[in-house]
Chains A and B, each alone.
Chain A
Amino acid sequence: MLDLGVLAAAAEQVTGVLGDQPAPDAIEARRMQALSLAVHIPIVCFGIAFPAMILFVHGLYLRTGEAHFKALAKRWSKVALTLFAVGVVTGTILSFEFGLLWPDFTATFGEVYGVAFGLEGVAFFLEAIFIAIYVYGWDRLPRRTHFLTGIPIVITGFFGSFCVIAVNGWMNHPEGFGVENGDVVDPEPFNAIFNGNLWHELIHMYLAGYIVAGFIVAGVYAAAHLRGKRDAYHRTGLVVALSFAALAAPAQVIVGDWAGRTVTKDQPIKLAAIEGLPTTTKGAPFTFGGWYDAENNTMNGGIEIPKLLSVLADHDPNATVVGLDTVPPEDRPPVNIVHYSFQIMVGIGTLLAMLGALFVLTLWRHKRLPRSKWFYRGVVVAGPLALVALIAGWVTTEVGRQPWIVYEVMRVEDSVTSSDGLELGFAVLVAVYLLLAVAVAWLLRRLSAQSPEREVVHR
């Protein structure tokens, strides 16, 4: 069913409560925001998924008492602690940017979405406390207590993601407030948190965390496997990390389909941009590739598969799909970016799902690891590919939301800071993040170069 009403529903827009200083630098601000997110999000994938993997191996150790399980769990927990520190600082930057780059967004809507961040603060607080206790507690706390202090890390990681995604879902599907004469009234924070985009985004992102972290970690051990390191320690690292990723990858396709149908319903223009659909069409085709011409609102080139889009979007070959022509050009997102990001994500997602299924099936049918060298090479590249899919997915969601910061309620231009000279800030930030990347890469190499035995020696 199509509800064209949504397009007109938010006729009344909000320009913000702070004064009307001219805002020259929306593009720079967007680049800064996007860059900072693109740094933070991959790191927090480890915050989401690593604790569960560590506890799994830790549990194996408690059951069997075998030293290589302990060595692996301990090694991983050190990596997790450092990545957590980087997650904390890059997340803090994002919090600052809410004020620095988008003061009017925060000033106007803080009362609506802020409570989610209040809860997020609590979650990350608990996470910081327990990760310190857990990692520094190796060989110092009683065995059971030590294992138990790891469990809150998993829970708070999930809950923290829940809170942030609630905000992002809300920006895409704003609820829980009214607009009167351009002012925001009657905030209902809990309705804002439980918005229509929350669940699919949360589950999709949570699975993405397992896919990204799982494949990247597995890639390290797959590379070792190719170099001939096949002892119990390396095998466990490979199997555990890969199992998490391999189970999440096929599920991700199903959740992605759910996400797509929700977008069709609630953000038809985003969907039209994702698919590059210029005009509203009954029985719409699916277009591979192609190039959107914004002047003429046409899609050039590309391979069309008849009716497939209607099937995907609505599970009905004759469904009508809304096109870009239903809104004026200034309300359309940059179509090509969104279209290609989406296709990259789906392409990679399909490959990863196949790789994961292959692994699970081999393990299940033959009770052994795949033998082909190509499988291990595949796992090595799967990590970087998953990272690309992750960023591509976020670009789809966020750029597809443009030109709105709060979908159909507030425009990005109205929320951005009035400062100029952000170019300099952007350049500095790029430099700092590059340093950060180098430092983290250096650390991971350092850790993987040390022999695992040292983790077992009591210090």
Chain B
Amino acid sequence: MARALWTGSLSFGLVTVPVALYSAVRDRDIHFNLLHGPDNSPIETRRVCAHEQKEVPYSEIVKGYELDDGRWVLLSDSDLEAAAPRKSHTIDIEAFVEEREIDPLYMDRPYLLVPENEVAARAYALLSEAMASSGKVALGRFVMRAKENLVSIRPREGLLALTTMRFHDEVRPSAEIAQGLASVEAPSEEEVENAMAIIAELEVPFEPEGYRDEHRAHLEAIIKRKRKGQKISMPKPKPEEPAEPPPAAPDLMGALEESLARIRGEAASKTAGASKGKTKGKTVAKPKRKLPAPKAPAKRASGSARRP
């Protein structure tokens, strides 16, 4: 079983629920060890005191903050805890809000909260059931690893899922990025409608399981080949597609119409293929696209109605 990253209490009103916090992210990255090139022996990292030039055990290492005058203030773990004793041990729920009011820009890392014991489990169940029926998410704060976290908590599959969030001043203002845009002519109604038609044609339900981490798969394949002693060569850069260089003044309307025509043509042939497949049972050959085939025949059907 995974290791708890933090234990403490979840508190709403005067109800206190002892909980443990686990990461909701599984590390699927391919990890490399650092090796010494000439002899392929593993590299060890040692922590060395710069003053004494000798190795320092972890227990002798503290946090330091550099003052403007170059002096250092040393802080032990208990000093840091003393800065916020309650917050270091308690997630205080301060408010309940609508999920969609929280812009994903604020989302940082996902975790799962688990009740510590059977007594806690009852209060935990009470909170998650009450939240599930109200449809709201809880906002709270706590301190973990010398950092205060604003968090949102929502019921998910019988558990409470917690997401750490960025504070308002950690989200940069976007004003400068959009600055020059106001002086540019707004797109015409027709252009926007065409763009929205493309969006509608390409709309699918969000099915995250359908997206594979190709980077991981490629890296695994390379390791396998190398292990067999095969040579890995850098793929040749793809020649730039000369067919559609972006024109200096892009013909937006032309690109929109051409896209729609192509997508609809593709969609039409797909619907035909899909309905043929259905009669044969479940062995529908998936279209050659990498991603989950849109399984919304209703939508496609309405699209195909537009076909002449």
Q: Do A and B come from one complex?
A: no
